[in-house]
Amino acid sequence: MTDKSLNISLPQGVRDMLPEEAEKARYVEETIVSVLEKNGFRRVITPLLEYIDVLSLGLGAELQDKIFKFVDPVSGKIIAIRPDITPQVARMVSTRMRDYPLPIKLYYNENILRCEEPRGGLPSELLQIGAEYIGEDSPDADAEVIATAVEAIKKVGVRDFKIDIGHIGFFKGILEDIKASKDIKKKIKDAVLIKDNSSLQEVLSSVREVRGDNAIKILSDLPSLFGDKGVIDKLKSQVKNETAIKALDDLASIINMLEKKKLKNYITIDLGEVRGFDYYTGVIFEGFTKGFGRAILKGGRYNNLLEKYGYPCPATGFAFNTENVIAAVK
Amino acid sequence: MTDKSLNISLPQGVRDMLPEEAEKARYVEETIVSVLEKNGFRRVITPLLEYIDVLSLGLGAELQDKIFKFVDPVSGKIIAIRPDITPQVARMVSTRMRDYPLPIKLYYNENILRCEEPRGGLPSELLQIGAEYIGEDSPDADAEVIATAVEAIKKVGVRDFKIDIGHIGFFKGILEDIKASKDIKKKIKDAVLIKDNSSLQEVLSSVREVRGDNAIKILSDLPSLFGDKGVIDKLKSQVKNETAIKALDDLASIINMLEKKKLKNYITIDLGEVRGFDYYTGVIFEGFTKGFGRAILKGGRYNNLLEKYGYPCPATGFAFNTENVIAAVK
């Protein structure tokens, strides 16, 4: 039966893990999960499949295009393979956990499937370990989840990592203070998103300020608005917009709390960071290691997500890309 | 946004696990995995997706109909969501682990998707923890995997369970000794499979023996050929077919080894058991608990599976249905 013409290949975006790598994965998973449990997060398991109209309630535009989906032949409804777990947790809490005392702290360790555009929209499996802190709208809660993420990364043994911390509200607030069409504002956002400074300067040249603040200057400076706490202090003297001020205050509180926990060396402020799924409403953050291009974790505050499933309730959280963490552990 | 008309339902065959259940799942998974690791099984991770022509090489007819599949728009090839992990492990070992010293002992802890016929072929997610013992064709290896399964179940805290042990070779051997068309033999197999005694007696009434053994009597007795070692002793005096004798000898060796390990109370012999995926070639077994109808584990010897991926190599193993184990832990 040894057929030499046998083509035993795997679909793109798909991988086996042999024992050496799978055991490293187990070590990474167990270590992260033990830190999450120690910090009071409890496990949940969500289904691989969801009706797309239910799942889509909680997905940002960015992920809508990446959903792998099929028609259920019996009901005629469209079923999706989960590309993200957070909307599933939001659904679960909103529909089945309303009698749990707040805050509710949950974690998961699952596989997801996304149709990634670089590869012609082919499905690609990712492993995620995530934590969600539901029911509290405070910098304390944000600082706690970031500190938990840092604790987990350190415990796993990843060295030389940084958490880049930004805030959706800052950019949103500054944008409020300029006079420009929706279309222009989208162009500004896109330029900031991909950190295309020359496009940003070009589109800003056609824009007028509304309130005489230096909103345009701040927008134009966005790509360079990163560093330590000094960035916040400097901006606070320039910014008049309330949403933006609230964002800076939130960020300052979060940074102070993280410094108290002696995590100063692991954090960078980056106000030019606006990437992320559309469900984020406040602080956003990403973890990177030296010499490894892809993020090992992403997270942020999403105060409007549970409401979409009928339970208005603030929340914050993050997810590790398990395979990127494994790759970052040498 | 609280829309009372919002229909937040889940597809059939799909479930959430809230913390109480998910934590029980974690306890069950961790306990089973720790027993597997203690016994030298090493973790592997297989992909959610496979090309169907590759996966199908190792799937029995029973599962071929249960595969959830879709056309990859780029390559035009058909991609399957795994309904079974064992063929994936066989593929992985055959193509990427040939330089590992034998035996190779592997385990996995994954989700699978099957289109289950009772529900109109809708996809249904199952969690499986499985162990594969590759590279040794001996009753020792079979006894070792069965003993490992028993150790895991006991450690999880399941009480009042039994492992039903049968052998594909016994039934196959006895069938060799009768004169009947393929079609009739299939009818016999089907009747035994669903334990339909009256159909079995009816179809057997038209069959002749070839060698003057009492093959017809043995086939007709199949549904009652269960119990302790006495069943084997009794049959050994009646059976002449070599394949069937070899099966009884294998079984006797396995049972003796399990008795030496003081596991006698957990095992039952059931030679009328012919269910299972088509890839089994030798001993087959299933674990049941008192008062819980569904099997908590299934396994057996599959000596021809790796060969289909180009690496002739015997193997034996089993898989827990994790959710059934959880349900069996009170």
Report, as an integer, the average pLDDT of B189-205. Answer: 86
- Does pLDDT of B51 surpass 90? yes
Calculate how close chain A gets to B86, using CA atoms only, in Å.
Answer: 13
Residue of A nearest to B23 (CA): A43
Chain A hits for B323, Cβ within 8 Å:
none
Q: Is residue B168 part of a domain?
A: yes
Co-location of A294 and A156 in the same domain? yes
Query: What's the pLDDT at A161?
Result: 95
Structure token digits, residue A142 = 């944000």
Report, as an integer, the average pLDDT of A214-237. Answer: 87
Q: Which of B12, B54, B106 sits opposite A9 (nearest CB)?
A: B54
Query: What's the pLDDT at B117?
Result: 65
Which band of pLDDT confidence, cut at 50, 70 and 90, is reported for residue A109?
Answer: very high
Query: What's the pLDDT at A6?
Result: 65
Q: Output the DSSP codes for A29-91.
A: HHHHHHHHHHTT-EE-B--SEEEHHHHHTT--HHHHTT-EEEE-TTT--EEEE-S-SHHHHHH
- Looking at mean pLDDT, say which of A180-184, A224-228, B110-114, B117-121 comes out highest: B110-114
Structure token digits, residue B268 = 């039952």
- Does pLDDT of B3 surpass 50? no
- Does pLDDT of A119 surpass 80? no
Q: Is residue A137 part of a domain?
A: yes
Kindly report which listed range (A98-107, B6-15, B226-235) carries the lowest average pLDDT score: B6-15
Q: Is residue B50 part of a domain?
A: yes
- Looking at mean pLDDT, say which of A4-8, A162-166, A209-213 comes out highest: A162-166
Calculate how close chain B gets to A45, using CA atoms only, in Å.
Answer: 5
Query: What's the pLDDT at B213?
Result: 63
Query: What's the pLDDT at B261?
Result: 96
Decide the pairing of beta strands B315-321 and A161-167. Answer: unpaired
Report, as an integer, the average pLDDT of A176-198. Answer: 87
Closest residue by Cα to residue B110 from B91, B128, B135? B128
Instruction: Note the ipTM here.
Output: 0.91
Co-location of A21 and A154 in the same domain? yes
Helix boundaries (H) for chain B: 19-38, 52-56, 61-64, 86-96, 139-156, 168-176, 182-193, 197-204, 215-221, 230-236, 242-260, 322-328
Query: What's the pLDDT at A3?
Result: 47
- Does pLDDT of A70 surpass 90? no
Co-location of A30 and A154 in the same domain? yes
Query: What's the pLDDT at B205?
Result: 86
Query: What's the pLDDT at B292?
Result: 81
Across the interface, do A72 and B11 touch by the CB < 8 Å criterion?
yes
Dihedral, CA of residue A62, residue A65, residue A70 and residue A74, to nearest 10: 60
- Does pLDDT of B161 surpass 90? yes
Across the interface, do A49 and B11 touch by the CB < 8 Å criterion?
yes
Site from A10, A27, A92, A97 to mutate, B interface, most B CB atoms within 10 angstroms: A10
CB contact at 8 A, B15 and A47: yes
Round to whole Å and give the CA distance between A150 and A163.
8
Q: What is the mean pLDDT of chain B?
A: 90
Q: Is residue B11 part of a domain?
A: no
Task: Determine the distance from the C-alpha atom of residue A240 to the mean position of all C-alpha atoms in its chain, rounded to a whole number.
Answer: 28
Calculate how close chain B gets to A289, using CA atoms only, in Å.
Answer: 25
Q: Which of A74, A121, A122 sits opposite B122 (nearest CB)?
A: A74
Closest residue by Cα to residue B213 from B248, B246, B181, B244? B244
Show Cβ contacts of residue A117 under 8 Å, excluding neighbours closer than 6 positions. Answer: A65, A66
CB contact at 8 A, A277 and A297: no
Site from A4, A5, A6, A8 to mutate, B interface, most B CB atoms within 10 angstroms: A8
Q: Is residue A235 part of a domain?
A: yes
Report, as an integer, the average pLDDT of A132-136. Answer: 98
Site from A49, A98, A107, A125 to mutate, B interface, most B CB atoms within 10 angstroms: A49
Q: Compute the Cα dihedral for B231, B232, B236, B239 and give only its sign.
A: positive
Co-location of A191 and A307 in the same domain? no
- Does pLDDT of B1 surpass 60? no
Q: Taking the CB of residue A213, how many other CB atoms lie within 10 A of it?
A: 17
Report, as an integer, the average pLDDT of B29-33. Answer: 98
Chain A hits for B9, Cβ within 8 Å:
51, 54
CA atoms within 13 A on the CB side of A322: 27
Chain B hits for A307, Cβ within 8 Å:
1-2
Distances (CA, A) of A228 to A231, B243, B256: 6, 76, 70
Site from B8, B117, B125 to mutate, A interface, most A CB atoms within 10 angstroms: B8
* Residue pLDDT, tens place only, A275-305: 665 789 999 999 999 888 889 999 999 999 9
A-B contacts (CB, under 8 Å): 169
Round to whole Å and give the CA distance between A155 and B76.
44
Q: Is residue B4 part of a domain?
A: no
- Does pLDDT of A251 surpass 50? yes
Across the interface, do B43 and A25 touch by the CB < 8 Å criterion?
yes
Co-location of A45 and A156 in the same domain? yes
CATH number at residue B128: 3.30.930.10
Which band of pLDDT confidence, cut at 50, 70 and 90, is reported for residue A118?
Answer: low
CB contact at 8 A, A33 and A129: yes
Across the interface, do A308 and B44 touch by the CB < 8 Å criterion?
no
Chain A hits for B310, Cβ within 8 Å:
1-3, 6, 8
Calculate how close chain B gets to A228, using CA atoms only, in Å.
Answer: 38
Q: Is residue B5 part of a domain?
A: no
Which band of pLDDT confidence, cut at 50, 70 and 90, is reported for residue A1?
Answer: very low
* Residue pLDDT, tens place only, A12-33: 778 999 999 999 999 999 999 9
Q: Is residue B7 part of a domain?
A: no
- Does pLDDT of A188 surpass 80? yes
Q: Per the structure, how many domains does chain B have?
A: 1
Residue of A nearest to B42 (CA): A19
SS3 B322: helix
- Does pLDDT of A249 surpass 60? yes
Which band of pLDDT confidence, cut at 50, 70 and 90, is reported for residue A60?
Answer: confident
Calculate how close chain A gets to B2, using CA atoms only, in Å.
Answer: 4
Co-location of A66 and A135 in the same domain? yes
Calculate how close chain B gets to A47, using CA atoms only, in Å.
Answer: 6
Calculate how close chain B gets to A27, using CA atoms only, in Å.
Answer: 11
Round to whole Å and give the CA distance between B163 and B288.
6
Round to whole Å and give the CA distance between A216 and A218.
5
Across the interface, do B95 and A8 touch by the CB < 8 Å criterion?
yes
Q: Compute the Cα dihedral for A155, A160, A164, A165 and give only its sign.
A: positive
In terms of residue numbers, what domain contains A262? 170-267
Report, as an integer, the average pLDDT of A108-137. Answer: 87
pLDDT > 90 fraction of chain A, expressed in percent and rounded: 60
pLDDT > 70 fraction of chain B, expressed in percent and rounded: 95
Across the interface, do B70 and A74 touch by the CB < 8 Å criterion?
no
- Does pLDDT of A243 surpass 50? yes
Phi, psi of B129, deg, nearest 5: -120, 120
